[in-house]
Structure 1
Amino acid sequence: MKTLVIVVHPDMESSVINKRWVEELSRYPEKYHIHQLYKVYPDEKIDVPAEQRLIEQYDKIVFQFPFYWFSSPPLLKKWFDEVLTYGWAYGSKSGYKVGDKKIGLVISAGIDEEGYSSQGMYKYTLKELTAPFELTFNYIRADYRSLYAYYGIELNSTREWIENSVAPYMDYLNKL
């Protein structure tokens, strides 16, 4: 079955890593369905029933985004607030439509991994900073598979560095 990759980047045209990853995914339409939230909802008015129907079609779902003010871009938070509704995603006998689906996070981070450590610039690991996502996925009974992060975009934007990001990214998705 195909993997749904929900890409949440507010400025994909100026993206370096996420844009390249989406280009790579596009080479395998039989394996991946790319759903770019900012492209589908430029006005940020989410079609909740359409999003829920889309989610129901896939057993593997990845949320891909740049780490943005120590979280996700705002449209993803809005998506969670509006799409993961009571009676559909949790809280009733008919809820838990996302339950048991494999879910992962793919994050591009600006600084090197050392900056996300107890001794680093931000004093917390990316795993610690993304704990609210893990809690959300656990709450709706999804099978959270942890995150994949590619660090250092602010310091490394050479063509070679960008290309070196593709294989581990695809490996993560293929093992989900």
Structure 2
Amino acid sequence: MKTLVILAHPNIDASRVNQRWKQELGKQASEITIHEIYREYPDWNINVSKEQKLLEAYDHVILQFPLYWYSYPPLLKKWFDDVFAYGWAYGSKGNKLHGKKLGLAMSIGDKKVNYTRDGSVSFTVDEVIAPFKASINHVGAVALPYFAVFGASFQATDEEINQSAQEYLRYIRKHQDEVDNEPYVAKYRVHW
């Protein structure tokens, strides 16, 4: 089964983590298709029909993005609003995403310890991404556990980012065929 990765980064050329992940996934063209919505729609005029047909062609979809003010980048929000339309994604006749596996792959700038009740964010990642999970459930898709790397803004070394790219590829392959409920956080030596 091939995987579709919807890549939503407003400035991929300046990204250390998402750019490296893209490079690694690009080596796997026979099993992974990368669709960059910021490159595809620089004018923000989303071709809804094209996006819906693309989603219909895959059973395994990953949304890759930097966690952006505890949410997702603005074009990805617009993409959701436009593409997950009534009558197509939900409603009495909207069943095109039923049973598809959807996951999130996020680069998170802050430390993992801050995404706890006692941390500076005061919310867990699962709580922050609740709107994604609710949307995925609403359209009848299967919500996969998220993949994340913390410290993406400035703490992670190049070696750690390279390791996270390998782990991201393992995450995708694991969830192409199976579903579990555990988040997959990149595991590398932490320097903070």
TM bracket, shorter-chain basis? over 0.9
Report the more deviating stretch, 143-152 or 155-164: 155-164
Q: Partner of 2:174 in structure 1?
A: 175
Instruction: Give yes or no for the alignment of 1:11 onto 2:49.
Output: no
- Tell me how large the CA RMSD over aligned residues is: 0.9
Deviation at 1:112, TM superposition (A): 1.2
Deviation sequence 1:109-128 (CA, Å, 0-9, x none)? 00111010001110001111
Do the aligned residues in 2 keep the contact of 1:102 with 1:143 (CA within 8 Å)?
A: yes
Report the more deviating stretch, 58-67 or 141-150: 141-150
Deviation at 1:99, TM superposition (A): 0.7
Deviation at 1:156, TM superposition (A): 2.1
Report the more deviating stretch, 135-144 or 84-93: 84-93
Q: Distance in 1 between matches of 2:30 and 2:10?
A: 26
Q: Distance in 1 between matches of 2:109 and 2:55?
A: 29
Report the AA paired with residue 35 of structure 1. H
Do the aligned residues in 1 keep the contact of 2:5 with 2:64 (CA within 8 Å)?
A: yes
SS at match of 2:146: strand
Deviation sequence 1:128-150 (CA, Å, 0-9, x none)? 10000000000000011121111
Deviation at 1:157, TM superposition (A): 3.9
Matches within 5 A, 1:132-171: 132-171=131-170
Structure 1 length-normalised TM: 0.97
Q: Distance in 2 between matches of 1:96 and 1:105?
A: 21
Do the aligned residues in 2 keep the contact of 1:64 with 1:105 (CA within 8 Å)?
A: yes
Q: Partner of 2:60 in structure 1?
A: 60
Do the aligned residues in 2 keep the contact of 1:5 with 1:32 (CA within 8 Å)?
A: yes
Deviation at 1:158, TM superposition (A): 2.4
Q: Partner of 2:183 in structure 1?
A: none
Report the AA paired with residue 96 of structure 1. N
Q: Distance in 2 between matches of 1:165 and 1:88?
A: 35
Deviation sequence 1:16-61 (CA, Å, 0-9, x none)? 0000000001101000000000000011110000000000000000
Do the aligned residues in 2 keep the contact of 1:25 with 1:32 (CA within 8 Å)?
A: yes
SS at match of 1:69: coil
Q: Distance in 2 between matches of 1:138 and 1:155?
A: 34
Structure 2 length-normalised TM: 0.89
- Structure 2 gap segments, 5+ residues each: 176-192
Report the AA paired with residue 21 of structure 2. W
Deviation at 1:4, TM superposition (A): 0.2
Residue identity over aligned pairs, in percent, reads: 45
Do the aligned residues in 2 keep the contact of 1:16 with 1:157 (CA within 8 Å)?
A: no
Deviation at 1:172, TM superposition (A): 1.0
Report the AA paired with residue 48 of structure 1. V
Q: Distance in 2 between matches of 1:55 and 1:25?
A: 18
Q: Distance in 1 between matches of 2:106 and 2:157?
A: 19
Do the aligned residues in 2 keep the contact of 1:8 with 1:36 (CA within 8 Å)?
A: yes
